Amino acid sequence: MKILHITPELAPWSKAGGLGDAAAALAKALGSLGHEVRAVTPLYGSVPGRESMSVLLNSLRVGVGGPPEKAACRVMSLHVAKNFEAWFIEHEDYYGAKEIYPARPDSAERAAFYARAALDACLATGWIPDVIHCHDWTAGLVPPLLNTVLKDSPLGGAASVISIHNLQHQGVSHRGIMDFLGLPGWLWQPSELECLGGVNFLKGGILHAKRVITVSPTYALEILTPQFGHGLEDVVRRRESALEGILNGVDLDEWNPRTDRLIPAHYSPRSMKGKEECRLALAREFGLRDDPGAPPIFGVISRLWDQKGLDLAAAALPAFLREGRLRFVLLGSGDSALEGAFRALAAGFPTLCGVRIGYDHGLSHRIEAGSDFFLMPSRFEPCGLNQMYSMTYGTPPIVRATGGLADTVRPWSPGSKDATGIVFEHADLQGVEWAISRALELHADPKAYRQVQLNGMRAEFSWARSAQAHVEAYRKAGAAL
């Protein structure tokens, strides 16, 4: 099968969160299964390694409105892995800046442009995909385009699929974006793309794709409800028969304590000595206590947004730190009040708590490897990759029972044999306090703790399985073998 991914993030070239990892790993896994895969994404100013790319199309005229000189772009290509090529849309005005999602008045146009350019690049090269897989809102207007403007083009027969990585971000823009893409006027109605006076990109994708995928089975059920639907629950319900949840996985070429070049020592279930070295190095890197009697390290790597529930952690932690019961390290950025709260926590407990505000790929690996627990108290979590990474690194996660967290972590209680982490139900202060206390109780029993660690390290979160499930979904969407 020929499979085209349209994605705003593609790791390692661009990544704001899990989407970058997920899109790249899925494309790679589909390529390994023998499918011919292309992933199209913008060439942001921050993308490294452009000297190794080659020119696929020197000047592509993209089917959008506006001044003709702005409607052209260059397309670069890079062989990434077996059967997998990345195509980068180069357009200085739209993507020359370093940020992936800058706050700009033309953000809808930026999204619409690269998505339409992805389709035009296929038409111009004659590489006609059987499946067009759109990721999140920025590619949301592709399925409506395929069902209308491009219906009679060679792309009209492709099976369109949309993955919802996060229903909260929907991309709502002014009506003019329909003219920019040449979409027919009848799509401007509440039962179609219109939503509260604007064009809703994700709604268009959900309504027009042949198949709708979310990144975990539990999230697929949750988004049918007002609590998790972010106002689109009725739209999702209209597509319930085409909806399914497929879990992401762990790319062991990138996240593997046996081979990871970004961590100070390697380890495996057979020999965990290296993990102790990683813990010691992490404590030293943050200037924390590193004596043999020091309490366990709880790690966090996260975007600091409401979704992640870390305000609850900030409220729960002082009591534990005051009693010297744990060490805490955090890497993240986002909400400035929350950044401030964590900075203040580190200042208040300098030998027990360390905080880095910012984005740091290497440090994210060192935290996964060096922590004793990984904290992820999300209010909602479509899939979540970090809890799977942490299990792979022998760092039991502490998670709330929602979305992909509920689907990937098996809860520990005294006496349980197959547990892989701590799971709690309620997104409130008591819930997080309970979960942290539970983790400390587990840690105080070295045999039980070791068992949970090993269970997690041996759990299988394979992208090959996820890719197989995607191929099934593509078939259901109408793609031929």
Q: Which residues bind ligand ADP (CB under 6 A)?
A: 17-19, 21, 301-303, 331-333, 359-361, 364, 383-386
Any contact of residue 384 with ligand GLC (CB under 6 A)?
A: yes
Any contact of residue 3 with ligand GLC (CB under 6 A)?
A: no
Looking at beta carbons only, is 261 or 447 nearer to ligand ADP?
Answer: 261
In angstroms, give the least distance from the CB of 237 to ligand GLC: 21
**Cα-only R_g, the chain:** 23
Contact region with ligand GLC (CB under 6 A), list: 13-21, 37-45, 276-284, 393-401: 13-21
Query: Distance (Å, rounded) from C-alpha 121 to C-alpha 75?
Result: 8
Any contact of residue 309 with ligand GLC (CB under 6 A)?
A: no
- Binding residue (CB under 6 A) for ligand GLC from 146, 330, 385, 419: 385
Looking at beta carbons only, is 10 or 53 nearer to ligand GLC?
Answer: 10
Query: Distance (Å, rounded) from C-alpha 44 to C-alpha 39?
Result: 15
Residue 331 binding partner per list ligand GLC, ligand ADP, none, with a CB distance cut-off of 5 to 8 Å that depends on partner kind: ligand ADP
Q: Are 115 and 205 in contact (CB under 8 A)?
A: no
Greatest C-alpha distance within the chain: 70
Which residue has its beta carbon closest to ligand GLC? 18
Residue 332 binding partner per list ligand ADP, ligand GLC, none, with a CB distance cut-off of 5 to 8 Å that depends on partner kind: ligand ADP
Query: Distance (Å, rounded) from C-alpha 418 to C-alpha 475?
Result: 35
Query: Distance (Å, rounded) from C-alpha 318 to C-alpha 300?
Result: 15
Q: Are 396 and 418 in contact (CB under 8 A)?
A: no
Residue 148 binding partner per list ligand ADP, ligand GLC, none, with a CB distance cut-off of 5 to 8 Å that depends on partner kind: none
- Binding residue (CB under 6 A) for ligand GLC from 147, 248, 302, 371: 248
Residue 301 binding partner per list ligand ADP, ligand GLC, none, with a CB distance cut-off of 5 to 8 Å that depends on partner kind: ligand ADP
| Interacting positions 159-178 with ligand GLC (CB under 6 A) | 165-166
Residue 215 binding partner per list ligand ADP, ligand GLC, none, with a CB distance cut-off of 5 to 8 Å that depends on partner kind: ligand GLC
What residues contact 126, with CB distance under 8 A and at least 6 apart? none
Question: Interface residues with ligand GLC (CB under 6 A)?
Answer: 17-19, 22, 165-166, 215, 248, 381-385, 404
